[in-house]
Amino acid sequence: MELEKKNDKEWILVTKNELSTSHLSDWVVLPSCGAFVIFGGTVRNTSKDDEEVFKLNYEAYESYLGQKLDLLSESISQKYELGRIGIHHRLGEVNLGEISVLVAVSSPHREESFLAAKDAIDTLKETIPIWKEECFKDRSDWVIGS
C-alpha cells in the first residue's frame, strides 16, 4: 500500500519505503513560520516489558486509513496556528533504528509547534488504525495502544 496526499498545508504519506526527516523538514519550513518541530519514532531493541525486539511489522486498515489521517491533520490544523503539517508512517517490516513514524509541524511561534506535534502523535497512536507486531527471537506479539 502506498498512500500520499500533498497540498500547500498538509503532507500525508503511508509507505513501505524508508522515511526521510530531511525531505519532511525541507517541506514543512515556511518563511512565515519561525518554528518547526519534527517528532520521529524509531524501532528500539526492547519492548515495554524489556524483551529483546528484532524488528516490527506494521499493518493498516487501508480503506479507512486515508480518511482518518485527513481528519487528524485537519483537526490539528484547526486547533493550532500552523503553517504546515506532515504525517508520515511506515507499513510492513521496519528494522531496528529505522524510522516508523514522523510528525512535522511549522508555526509562527515555537509553543504552537511543540503542542501541535505532541497532540498529533498522541492522537495518531490512540485513533489511527495502524497495528504493530513486535518480533522477538522465538515469537511475535501484536501490540495494542502503543
Question: What digits encode the pLDDT tens for the residues 48-105?
Answer: 899 999 999 999 987 789 899 999 999 999 999 999 999 999 999 999 999 999 999 9
* Phi, psi (rounded to 5 degrees) for 7: -140, -165
Contacts of 26 (CB under 8 A, 6+ apart): none
Q: Where do the domains of the chain lie?
A: 3-143
Q: Give which of 16, 24, 15 is closest to 120, Cα–Cα.
A: 24
The domain over range 3-143 is classified in CATH as 3.30.470.20:
no
Confidence band for 28, pLDDT divided at 50, 70 and 90: very high
| Cα 49 from Cα 79, distance rounded (Å) | 35
Q: Tell me: the pLDDT tens digits for 91-144? A: 999 999 999 999 999 999 999 999 999 999 999 999 999 999 999 999 999 986
